[in-house]
Structure 1
Amino acid sequence: MRVYGITGWKNSGKTTLVERLVDDITARGFSVSTVKHAHHSFDVDHPGKDSFRHRTAGAQQVMLASRNRWALMHELRGDAEPSLDELLEHLEPVDLILIEGYKRDRHAKVEAHRAATGQPLIAAEDDTIRAVASDATPSGLNVPVLDLNNTRAIADFILAEVGLL
């Protein structure tokens, strides 16, 4: 499977960019899955719901299923966080997997950058970043700078990088 990342600092526009890229790339007929890294504890379940009760009772995995979708939750219960490669093994084959976050992993990435955040560019120090998508025109980079608001151009860049264009 082809894997490509979108990385950047908090409030740089990563989630919005991934959402727009999924829309653009699937509209071209490609299948896409996503993986989002969260640096904090999160919960997709709600107290009082049956699945929450199963999980808090000690179930290692809880699967919810309906005629519209299914979801599998896996409690680590103190085990180490799985690597990105281990997580990818759980996904069904698709044309492209877009990874949001995982900035320290070694897959190819586009860095989302908004000048208003005042954060330095990760690309200056990270050779896995193949382009910067920005709302400004940063200089001194050894990678292309793409317009953060030009989803089509960013999608074209990624699809060419992974050999789908």
Structure 2
Amino acid sequence: MKIFGLTGWSGSGKTALMVRLIPALTARGLRVSTVKHAHKGFDIDHPGKDSHNHRVAGATEVLVSSPRRWALMHELRDDEPELTLSELVAKLSPVDLLLIEGFKREPHEKIEVWRAAVDKPLIAAGDSSIVAVASDGPVPGCPVPVLDLNDAEAVAAFVVERCGLGHP
């Protein structure tokens, strides 16, 4: 399973690029999964639902299943540490390409999403795991190739080439 990431500062457009990149990759016949890092607490469950009640009652894991999808929620309790990226990846089913959104300090290859309007420094200037920058304009002093942030097909072609995925 190939692993490739998108990273960048909050508000740079990582998720917007991700949701355009996924169909550009799946249209090439690739099976793609994603991992998204959330910095804040988040919840995919809702009060009043049976699964939420199970968690509130103290269940460590709750698996919800239907004919269309299933979801496993694992509650970190008693100061359990957040899982590492490699621990999370080990929990996923194999696919052709795993796209990682966030996790900017991890060593996998990634594209930095950068916009001058966000007014944050270029991460690629000091991070060798960043192999390209996707931007909506010029990127002064960029040490890696710059891709058009608005051209998901070109970004997909770069990812496919970089990961050696050619023709599945």
Shorter chain as denominator, the TM-score bin is over 0.9
Q: Note if 1:143 corresponds to 2:157.
A: no
CA shift for structure 1 position 114: 1.6
Supply the distance in 2 between the matched residues of 1:139 and 1:40 (Cα, whole angstroms): 31
Q: 1:62 aligns to what? A: 62
CA shift at 1:142, angstroms?
1.7
Secondary structure of the 2:34 match is strand
Residue 44 (str. 1) matches residue 44 (str. 2): yes
* TM-score, normalised via structure 2 length: 0.96
Note the C-alpha offset of 1:139. 2.4
Consecutive unaligned residues in structure 2, runs of 5 or more: none
Amino acid at match of 1:151: A
Q: Point out where structure 1 has 5 or more consecutive residues left out of the alignment.
A: none
Please give the per-residue CA displacement for 1:87-137, whole angstroms capped at 9, x wherever unaligned. Answer: 001110100000000000000000011221111111111110000000011
Question: Residue deviations 1:22-69, cap 9 Å, x none?
Answer: 111001110000000001100000011100000010100000000010
Distance in 1 between residues matched to 2:28 and 2:156, nearest whole Å: 10
In structure 2, what is the equivalent of residue 72 of structure 1?
72
Match of residue 104 from structure 1: 105
Mapped partners of 1:108, 1:80: distance in 2: 25
CA distance in 1, matches of 2:66, 2:115: 40
Structure 1 CA distance for aligned equivalents of residues 153 and 115 of structure 2:
18
**Aligned-pair CA distance for 1:164:** 0.6
Query: What percent of counterpart residues are identical?
Result: 58
| Count of residues in correspondence between the two structures | 165
Query: What corresponds to 2:7 in structure 1?
Result: 7
The 3-state SS of whatever aligns with 2:155 is helix
1:84-163 aligned within 5 A: 84-163=85-164
- Structure-2 separation of matches of 1:93 and 1:27: 18
Runs of 4+ in 1 over 6 A off after TM superposition: none
Paired AA for residue 143 in structure 2: N
Whole-angstrom CA distance in 2 between matches of 1:64 and 1:114: 39
Q: What RMSD in Å do the two structures reach over aligned CA positions?
A: 0.7
Letter matched to residue 81 of structure 2: A
Task: Indicate the SS of the match to 2:86.
Answer: helix
The separation in 1 between residues aligned to 2:143 and 2:13, in whole angstroms, is: 22
Counterpart Cα distance in 2 of 1:151 and 1:71? 29
TM, length-normalised to structure 1:
0.98
Matching residue of 1:16: 16
